[in-house]
């Protein structure tokens, strides 16, 4: 491949990276919020959020992207392609992240809560200083796994015309009639993005272990 092809691949990789990155950050935070709301057991709201999680997890990502992008104008909302893609990816990953957070909170040691209450710690202080930090560490591998799935599923955004890494790869292959080099290059770039996520996870775990010592 020539330099122009590499430039196009890097542009596509950047599009994939920033759209996936924004969706990941929103999904992790919103997943935490949804999990906490479900743990509060608020009537109707818990059922509503449970229905959203089931629907979002069962809906193919391509279908969700098309629905958000195409239904916007019918509701008087004009979404650009990037916004629609981020909304769809965020709704998808939030549902999975919410269940990861909820499972971690449900499995948290009740003895620690009882000990914290016994020394006069308020529920908010207990949550902020004890429960949340430990839950973040235990959830991190599953959260990063979900982030990786999101990056690998991001080529679905090409269905609404976004020129991401996979779409660029297809274009180069169509022009050069030699699909192997761009496919291998794209694979290496996807691996690099996922490798950065895993690397970040390991750094966070090391720092957490040092603080715990």
82 in any annotated domain: no
**CB neighbour list of residue 50: distance below 8 Å, 6 or more residues apart:** 38
Look at residue 50 in the predicted model and tell me its pLDDT: 94
189 in any annotated domain: yes
Look at residue 174 in the predicted model and tell me its pLDDT: 86
Look at residue 194 in the predicted model and tell me its pLDDT: 92
Q: What is the pTM of this model?
A: 0.89
Query: Which segments in the chain show pLDDT lower than 70?
Result: 1-2, 208-213
Look at residue 209 in the predicted model and tell me its pLDDT: 66
Helix (H, G, I), strand (E, B) or coil at 62: helix
83 in any annotated domain: no
Which of these, 161, 158, 108, 112, lies nearest to 135 by C-alpha position?
108
76 in any annotated domain: no
72 in any annotated domain: no
151 in any annotated domain: yes
Look at residue 211 in the predicted model and tell me its pLDDT: 53
81 in any annotated domain: no
Domain with residue 162: its CATH number is 1.10.3720.10
Which of these, 197, 185, 83, lies nearest to 150 by C-alpha position?
197
Contact between residue 160 and residue 66 where contact means Cβ atoms under 8 Å apart: yes
Domain coverage including residue 156: 3-60+89-212
| Domain count for the chain | 1
Helix, strand counts (H, E) of the chain: 9, 0
Whole-angstrom distance, CA of residue 77 vs CA of residue 143: 32
Structure tokens at 23: 């969706």
29 in any annotated domain: yes
**CB neighbour list of residue 198: distance below 8 Å, 6 or more residues apart:** 144, 148
Whole-angstrom distance, CA of residue 17 vs CA of residue 112: 39
Contact between residue 146 and residue 155 where contact means Cβ atoms under 8 Å apart: no
């Amino acid at each position: 491949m020539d330099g122009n092809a590499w430039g196009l691949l890097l542009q596509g990789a950047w599009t994939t990276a920033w759209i996936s990155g924004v969706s990941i950050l929103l999904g992790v935070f919103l997943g935490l919020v949804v999990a906490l709301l479900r743990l509060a057991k608020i009537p109707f709201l818990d059922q509503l959020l449970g229905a959203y999680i089931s629907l979002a997890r069962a809906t193919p990502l391509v279908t969700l992207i098309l629905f958000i992008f195409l239904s916007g104008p019918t509701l008087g909302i004009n979404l650009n392609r990037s916004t629609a893609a981020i909304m769809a990816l965020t709704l998808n990953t939030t549902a999975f992240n919410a269940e990861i957070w909820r499972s971690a909170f449900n499995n948290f040691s009740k003895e620690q809560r009882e000990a914290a209450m016994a020394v006069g710690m308020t529920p908010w202080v207990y949550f902020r200083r004890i429960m949340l930090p430990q839950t973040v560490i235990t959830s991190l591998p599953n959260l990063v796994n979900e982030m990786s799935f999101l990056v690998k599923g991001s080529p679905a955004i090409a269905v609404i015309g976004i020129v991401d890494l996979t779409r660029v790869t297809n274009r180069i292959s169509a022009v050069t009639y030699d699909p192997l080099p761009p496919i291998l290059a794209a694979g290496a770039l996807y691996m690099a993005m996922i490798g950065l996520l895993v690397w970040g996870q390991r750094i966070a775990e090391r720092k957490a272990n040092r603080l715990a010592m």
